[in-house]
Chain A
């Protein structure tokens, strides 16, 4: 999902980071309050409908959860879990999608120049024009988010509706959410809202309520209020997600060397790069519509 008007802060496999702009935009974030989520799945289909995805063929397997894992045509999944608690049960629902990490493991792991970018506002995006479908990003992601799409040969994941966000609209999932358990705004505001809600929950008997914004990946562009912060596993969330060490190593030492070879091979394989010529920006297109188009990352 290449965005026109957003400047790039970081770009995959770029020696100098791939920054394209001077403007500093506030970092945006989703807010998820699992304690007011009713698992209605409006976000699941609002995402699909907006992004023209699916439907995916599913079958009933004895759960309310739509499918076991995220899918290249299904970027936003509510994970359902029932647990015995305090003499009764709790039924937990957590919206799972790309976390838009401040320090994205996918971007670090990606060997294709410009295939994964982080915009100035923090959104982490896959540029299908540059993606080579190698799947390295998935190995770098501590949340197991990017999925390989067999039809396109590319990786796919939540874009945080960057096309909407750059037009001043909220992401489709956020807008649809009936209960308001999803909100969208600047990271600062969302964190403040999260802390306030956690305090309210603590006063209402949720002694272990927390705001999930893991520091191991620099914080995430999705902050999540959890009623049972002492049981992250109930929500399918890692306790201390980090970019895998191997990926760090690759990024700091090997990648600048490896990129040249891999990218060379890829360019030869993808036809329309030939038409386009080496100087055309691979991740955008159309006429500039007012904003500055992102510039070509230079490997």
Chain B
């Protein structure tokens, strides 16, 4: 989230799209209702299903699953053509005036630079036009240059008329216009609106561009950075934000530093590749905060390699594993299944072993049969869990998963019992970036252990083996700094200190070298004190400041709210730097005055920025730097060369497309996504599978966990699997509410109880009637007896977004029949 949960109460308009917050984030949804009750805010819900969020909305518009970009570009067109954008904001805080180079183009569904063979774009063709002076870029403050971002955007979205939105999305024109009228009412200083989303956007082959379209709309309306505004991703798990921040994924190091690749053979090359060049040098220059990258990186290497990391050895950079290509979810299991993969021009082995802490890939991954088949080829697995998951017992999956007989599965599986959340302390980071400490309430049951102890014991045992026996590059392990008081059971407060950062030598004031800011051994105040010479250590620069000499700030519990805006600066710690609203410089105008004095984010008081923790150099007067300090332009991007599938969003059909793309039938689906090619990866056609299917969660269950609760009350609230079917479709097929039906995709079939409902509207798409059905995830073959059910992912395809490689769970093709 750019903003926070409580901040939603400050909104005049809320667009909930690509998510179902009432059902999936009910307590956060409190602040939607607070906005409705307190300031008569309007809630617009756009969703394929009439959800429990829609039930309390002011405006509901149905939409065909997977067509959100068309809807959002329709909103952008409405904003521009009706001059409802916040012009002053757009001119100073976005790249609308920037002129784009001549090489950029868009024709018949393809942007310039597409390489048909590779299925990739050459993004260098999407650059800014160089200006007259060296290093500067051409801008047109009047926004009239036909090649400025504003005019290019206007041209790009001109096709998305309300009629085209209706044709593509199936949303009746009057409903679209109602949403458009309400949402664009915030394109001014007086009003502000927020957009909230979740996996309903990310889990598409066009997911990132959906989110980008929303961000662009918010920039045009001037809603980014303001209290009550922003683009707010509602993350689905208690510490999924923290898992991302702390580099759970292959492509990043902690704090979103980049994982080094093979060609980057030393730190210098790595920095050159990772640090963007400051672009904007002529209007308000960008702070381009990433110039501090080496401080973050070296401090991280000091945390990993301790004294072994020295200036002479590039602080241990050589020991970091380098990647060549993609190692994300679908590739992990594809490479496992195939057993080998091409990397940097040669064959390398795929994984022969899997270690999973609190993860259930058989339940979670697309195409369950492929998941079971892949695990069946592993030599060994370690599953650390609270309960016996589908992954732990993949070797006894029911026959519809088509796994080998147990006797044919060579995998040795260790199932280790782990502590529950209540049985360990430590911090979770919520969707609003708050790191909150939780205290341990009781011991784990039986012989279960806290995860950190399990991990530490495994690590120490492996390190011992390498110390005794040697092996492949032992230094990669033996040089690791593991200096906790009890190495086998690291105290999480000590780990948090390591993440937050400390001085290894005296840190001096850059302005006054004689002055010691932090003495050696002291905890740092924040990432502003990090050094690139090895004199500071910090496990995650974004978390820097969470544990200072003042103590563990994640434990702070003051709920004082002097601004009344719901910021709570003395409750826990919010990264970065305890800032509660990201990009808050944009909450003020060119002179540093808040757009809305009743809802200031930060403002310039003549000497410094005050209000929220400023997303800006605190003493830099208005006009010194652009508001978006992490971007080399210093302004918000309405046009971006950063994504793999286009500088603007464009409507593409899902990988399994129910119709040819009405806008460009020759380019139906996202041209940059990649299909998988194993024998398990099969994709259906609209002729064979005419119905659009989507998957989702229910309020009453959590993922694949809560079904395990023997004697638990959640199995009472939602006892079993069901399939939601529109009334008219049910009638056509002779399906009664409560009867058994089968849903079949190219990958498999599942059976369940029909829930016949008015809440799934029949849609008219591209002139034809089109049906959508859906079913919840949550069930599987490992459950409390009586509460088993099919894994939703038996039907989902291995196909995903070309930027995040997140699978397309939200729109795929099926057929439906009576069981």
Contact = CB atoms under 8 A, between A and B. Distances in A.
Touch test A–B (CB under 8 Å): yes
Interface in A16-72: 35-42, 44-45, 48-49, 54-63, 66
A180 B55 contact: no
Nearest to B757: A82
A108 interface: no
Given A62-B737, A204-B40, A38 B29 contact: yes
Contact of B721 (A60, A82, A91, A180): A60
A38 B24 CA distance: 11
A200 interface: yes
B100 interface: no
A66 to B, nearest CB: 5
B30 A39 contact: no
A38 B716 contact: no
Interface string B1-42: 000000000000000000000110011011011101100100
A179 B716 contact: no
B26 A44 contact: no
Contact of B719 (A60, A84, A92): A60
A62 B755 contact: yes
A84 B27 contact: no
B30 A180 contact: yes
A197 interface: yes
B55 A55 contact: no
Contact of B52 (A40, A42, A61, A62): A40
Interface size class of B (residues with CB under 8 A): 35 or more
B8 to A, nearest CB: 12
A48 B715 CA distance: 13
Nearest to B709: A55
A181 B32 CA distance: 12
Contacts of B40: 200, 204
B478 interface: no
A58 B715 CA distance: 8
A83 B325 CA distance: 52
Contacts of A45: 713-714, 716-717
A180 B34 contact: yes
25 contacts: A36-B56, A38-B52, A38-B53, A40-B22, A40-B23, A41-B699, A41-B717, A45-B717, A48-B713, A54-B713, A54-B716, A56-B716, A58-B716, A58-B717, A58-B719, A59-B719, A60-B719, A60-B722, A62-B722, A66-B716, A82-B759, A88-B60, A178-B30, A180-B30, A200-B37
A90 interface: yes
Contacts of A66: 716-717
Contacts of A59: 719-720
Interface in A70-124: 82-84, 88-93
A62 B738 contact: yes
Question: Which 5 A-B residue pairings sit nearest by Cβ, starting from the closest?
Answer: A55-B716, A62-B738, A38-B22, A178-B26, A62-B737
Interface residues of A, number: 39
Interface string B377-401: 0000000000000000000000000
Contacts of B269: none
B718 A179 contact: no
A200 B753 CA distance: 40
B743 to A, nearest CB: 16
A36 B716 contact: no
B340 interface: no
Contacts, number: 108
B54 interface: yes
A60 B753 contact: yes
Interface of A: 35-42, 44-45, 48-49, 54-63, 66, 82-84, 88-93, 178-181, 197, 200, 204
A176 B778 CA distance: 23
Given A60-B719, A197-B37, A91 B713 contact: no
Interface in B647-663: none
Contacts of B756: 62
B712 interface: yes
Listed residue (B53, B699, B713) with the most chain A CB atoms within 10 angstroms of its CB: B713
Contact of A178 (B29, B53, B60, B722): B29
A39 B55 contact: yes
Nearest to B62: A88
B37 A91 contact: no
B50 A40 contact: no
B665 to A, nearest CB: 32
A51 to B, nearest CB: 12
A55 B712 contact: yes
Given A54-B713, A88-B761, A179-B33, 9 more contacts: A35-B56, A56-B716, A60-B722, A82-B757, A83-B758, A178-B29, A178-B30, A179-B56, A200-B40
A82 B29 CA distance: 22
Contacts of A200: 37, 40
B711 interface: yes
A38 B27 contact: no
A36 B758 contact: no
Given A82-B759, A181-B33, A90 B55 contact: yes
A90 B60 CA distance: 10
A200 B53 CA distance: 20
Given A60-B722, A62-B738, A55 B715 contact: yes
Contacts of B60: 88
B33 A180 contact: yes
A14 to B, nearest CB: 37
A62 B33 CA distance: 28
Given A38-B26, A48-B713, A179-B29, A60 B34 contact: no
